[in-house]
Structure 1
């Protein structure tokens, strides 16, 4: 196991003379982040194919495939509440929507959008029941996007084809395409779109929110992390299964890593941000340092005059998204997405 990375967290408000300067600092962080990921290709026009549809009690589930960069496609479930019927003819009926991103589950989108999904993971299905239009895509290497000759969540083939890119960059590009699709739907109010995810889906949710201001609120379960205090910081670098950001390994080895994930999460500020941190999380066990990151985020939100938009909750659960926390998260989304859009 790699040695723990123990550098202190950089204060997010350092060097700011007033809140208006945050945008300058934010753009500098964003530029550095994109360079680390290997950049983002230009997006392609919205185009999707409906493969099948099934009517459920509260919504219709559409099995779709949509276009993404480099000629690739993404399989997804699109859940449309029955109350959206006719919304295209009545703009005032347009619904809030959510990008629901799955965790490291072989079933991919099915784990969060189907009744067969695991307990504590069916947040796409539960949000559709609450009246949200929900897009739940498969990430690369999961669900229907696993190559026939590969194992789930093994990125070796992708890394070989795109040696200058990263799996995080690829996931972000795919989710931006999904956001384009979601905002284009006649049932959706594009000013009331959020993102939610657990674990892999949790950090993908705030990565997406940080890159696109159309995400008006974000919920992260067991997805915020830090290099600071992590007993295995190379979890983010080169591995023999899912390699997130290849460049991280060399930067760690050379002691030249110049960012931490609270800065990437801060790219979403000042938009509403809910974060669940579990003290018994076996995958991200350094909950005290992650709590420090959440506190630093809250200091930034207060500095920007919107401290009420950041809610961080720490509890005794393991790597899970328990019922009380999900209900709290849903109420948070309702607060910010089921009313007039926030600036």
Structure 2
């Protein structure tokens, strides 16, 4: 399954349900998209046995922040913050909902979303912990405590030197699945109420994680979703001197095609509850009209699956940001699917 980029830019978003008349035909198409996705990202390894250590602990007013390190695939380790809400005696026996808070492109990694020192409109991990969620905020590869020795933040060259047939996208998914393993192991976490939230880099990682792991029961993506259609810089997803996501996309673009459209990848998680936010003044993903068009088509799939209320896509006049009113709506969405539907 591939598309001519020229045709996409001329004709618009391909329809998910084109030629689909029943659920069996959709499932066949879904499996075809999944095979193409896994082929492009180089596949996903099995998780490794869970092992983690607590490095330190910090008391905040309404939660405790634990600095962790845990094992992941390919002999690597992930550094993370685990935020645990402080609870009264009545709450002590109850298992709590949990969220992976995936950070945007910030050299500080997890600290940007999980500490008081994080940037304005980026501290969603800490805010959700204060709202009653157990929050795991991991460093992605190349950020925070996981910058490769001798490299700058977000330089993936050392990764590809070791794994030339794999991708940074698959590596991030594998690491985040390992984080889900950690959360479900905790006796104070409800394994049936785990979500993922992220802005920008963290936003599309949250979607990718939901595609790969059915234990994710709700997703929030802020300015992390885009389309190839209308993108002034589709090469952002391929090989770069900086952070290379999926190298094969560069090869495809050189032939004038793309291997999929991004709403097809998001559709692999349907009907997992999905909240998407896009800014019309976003200079990183400026093509908000085709983004909105693809979200409408994705919602048509949710409606066809009988779950229209499980998807909410918003766009507004802000830039590449996660403004307070939008975060409030996103948190209410998570509450709906991880607290009220428990």
Q: When the two structures are superposed, what TM-score results if normalisation uses the length of structure 1?
A: 0.95
- Equivalent of 1:46, from 46, 50, 54? 50
Are the aligned partners of 1:84 and 1:94 in contact in 2 as well (CA < 8 Å)? no
SS at match of 1:154: coil
Cα deviation for residue 21 of structure 1 reads 4.0
Task: Tell me how far apart the structure 2 counterparts of residues 321 and 136 of structure 1 sit (CA, whole Å).
Answer: 17
TM-superposition CA deviations, 1:136-166 (whole Å, max 9, x none): 0000000000123100101011111111011
The runs of 5 or more residues in structure 1 that have no matched partner are none
Are the aligned partners of 1:106 and 1:152 in contact in 2 as well (CA < 8 Å)? yes
Cα deviation for residue 24 of structure 1 reads 2.9
Q: CA RMSD in A?
A: 1.6
Which residue does the alignment assign to 1:64? 68
Are the aligned partners of 1:101 and 1:196 in contact in 2 as well (CA < 8 Å)? yes
Equivalence map 1:144-223=2 (5 Å)? 144-223=145-224
The runs of 5 or more residues in structure 2 that have no matched partner are none
SS at match of 1:150: coil
Which residue does the alignment assign to 1:288? 289
TM-superposition CA deviations, 1:1-23 (whole Å, max 9, x none): xx987263221112322245433
Are the aligned partners of 2:199 and 2:221 in contact in 1 as well (CA < 8 Å)? yes
Task: Tell me how far apart the structure 2 counterparts of residues 21 and 58 of structure 1 sit (CA, whole Å).
Answer: 49
Matching of residue 134 in structure 1 with residue 135 in structure 2: yes
Matching of residue 253 in structure 1 with residue 248 in structure 2: no
Matching of residue 6 in structure 1 with residue 9 in structure 2: yes
Task: Tell me how far apart the structure 1 counterparts of residues 28 and 57 of structure 2 sit (CA, whole Å).
Answer: 46
Are the aligned partners of 1:84 and 1:95 in contact in 2 as well (CA < 8 Å)? no
Task: Tell me how far apart the structure 2 counterparts of residues 86 and 259 of structure 1 sit (CA, whole Å).
Answer: 50
Structure 1's 20 and 132: CA in aligned 2 closer, same or farther, altered over 3 A? Answer: farther
SS at match of 2:258: coil
Task: Tell me how far apart the structure 2 counterparts of residues 170 and 149 of structure 1 sit (CA, whole Å).
Answer: 20
Are the aligned partners of 2:160 and 2:166 in contact in 1 as well (CA < 8 Å)? yes
Task: Tell me how far apart the structure 1 counterparts of residues 110 and 230 of structure 2 sit (CA, whole Å).
Answer: 31
Which residue does the alignment assign to 1:229? 230
Cα deviation for residue 272 of structure 1 reads 0.8
Cα deviation for residue 31 of structure 1 reads 1.4
Which residue does the alignment assign to 1:121? 122
SS at match of 1:125: helix
Q: When the two structures are superposed, what TM-score results if normalisation uses the length of structure 2?
A: 0.95
Are the aligned partners of 2:13 and 2:294 in contact in 1 as well (CA < 8 Å)? yes
Task: Tell me how far apart the structure 1 counterparts of residues 325 and 200 of structure 2 sit (CA, whole Å).
Answer: 17
Task: Tell me how far apart the structure 1 counterparts of residues 63 and 25 of structure 2 sit (CA, whole Å).
Answer: 44
Task: Tell me how far apart the structure 2 counterparts of residues 240 and 86 of structure 1 sit (CA, whole Å).
Answer: 53
Task: Tell me how far apart the structure 2 counterparts of residues 48 and 33 of structure 1 sit (CA, whole Å).
Answer: 30
Residue-pair matches, total? 336
Are the aligned partners of 1:19 and 1:303 in contact in 2 as well (CA < 8 Å)? no
SS at match of 2:268: helix
